[in-house]
Structure 1
Amino acid sequence: MIRDNRFYIAVKAVIFHKEKFLVIKRSNMARGDHYYWEFPGGRLEFGESVLDTLNRELREEVSISADIIRPLSIWNFMKNKNTEIVGITYLCKTDVDKVKLSFEHEKYAWITKEDLSKYNIHPSVLSDISTWDWENIVGEV
């Protein structure tokens, strides 16, 4: 029996402006069962490089260009029993704080690490975030 297993590669951006970073929330139209705040990003398209994907997703979702500093973490999760998503989260910075959201998102916020508890962020993302060296990250941006 051939199983219909598949995986996708995704990229996310932790974009800093000054000492705050950007989180976004999906709109009711695009949400489905996705009601968490998240970092901007999305899936690679066939033939697209990781950095091209990240830049495209930032333009599409938040209309921001950012300097990509370095990868912060590599992660994976099972979307369902036959679909795995493998992702890379990048540390980025920008000089602009004006965000223009796509139709897929309804809210955004520039927050600090201390603000995380005020936002409904997926537990697996919070677990990943808890391993980051925040002092070093803030020093880099």
Structure 2
Amino acid sequence: MPNTVASKRVHVAVGVIYNPQGEILIARRHDDAHQGGLWEFPGGKVETGETVCDALARELHEELGIVVHTASCTQLLEIRHDYTDKVVLLDVWKVLKFDGEALGKEGQPLKWVQPQALPEYDFPAANVAIVDAILKLAD
């Protein structure tokens, strides 16, 4: 019998998006999605042949309608997290510059929050390390 965890691997580009006021954008996952109802940092799957930066820029444009200045992106950390149904590699990048106004183009609620307020929100287990890394940067 194949191991479903080993066979289901997902590489995800994640954006920790800062506005000029130093707030970070979070999005609430749809209730019917994996880890539904929890808050997350926007992003999406890296497609074959795509760089992580290109995937992040594409996903943030599709989900939020913003155009990322990829030169302003810096890698924050990588996280591998094993869920019961999949293994996720989160490639997390800080996004400091973008054009446009972030909108929930897929109907997802969005919120700009101060870094210190992130622990007040419920995130998927894989995102806890992201919140911790952001809080260390904010100190």
CA contact (8 A) 1:13 1:40 kept: yes
What secondary structure, in the 3-state scheme, does the structure 2 residue paired with 1:101 have? coil
- From the superposition, tell whether residues 109 and 32 of structure 1 become closer, same or farther in structure 2 (CA, over 3 Å): same
Asked if residue 102 in structure 1 is aligned to residue 108 in structure 2, the reply is no
Aligned to 2:95: 92
CA contact (8 A) 2:67 2:100 kept: no
Q: Per-residue CA shift, 1:6-27, capped at 9, x if unaligned?
A: 3221110001012111001123
TM-score by length of 2: 0.80
CA contact (8 A) 1:17 1:96 kept: no
Q: Per-residue CA shift, 1:13-67, capped at 9, x if unaligned?
A: 0010121110011234x53542211011011112222111101100011111223
- From the superposition, tell whether residues 85 and 119 of structure 1 become closer, same or farther in structure 2 (CA, over 3 Å): same
Aligned to 2:15: 13
What secondary structure, in the 3-state scheme, does the structure 2 residue paired with 1:54 have? helix
Aligned to 2:81: 77
In the aligned structure 2, how far is the partner of 1:2 from the partner of 1:135? 43
What secondary structure, in the 3-state scheme, does the structure 2 residue paired with 1:17 have? coil
User: Structure 1: any 5+ residue segments left out of the alignment?
Assistant: 137-141
Q: Identity over the aligned pairs, expressed in percent? A: 20
Shift of 1:3: 4.4
- From the superposition, tell whether residues 120 and 3 of structure 1 become closer, same or farther in structure 2 (CA, over 3 Å): closer
Aligned-pair RMSD on alpha carbons? 2.4
CA contact (8 A) 2:60 2:66 kept: yes
Aligned to 2:53: 51
Aligned to 1:114: 116
Asked if residue 38 in structure 1 is aligned to residue 63 in structure 2, the reply is no
User: Structure 2: any 5+ residue segments left out of the alignment?
Assistant: none
TM-score by length of 1: 0.79
What secondary structure, in the 3-state scheme, does the structure 2 residue paired with 1:130 have? helix
Shift of 1:74: 0.4
In the aligned structure 2, how far is the partner of 1:10 from the partner of 1:80? 17
Q: Per-residue CA shift, 1:113-132, capped at 9, x if unaligned?
A: 22113322234422342244
CA contact (8 A) 2:29 2:35 kept: no
How many residues align structurally? 133
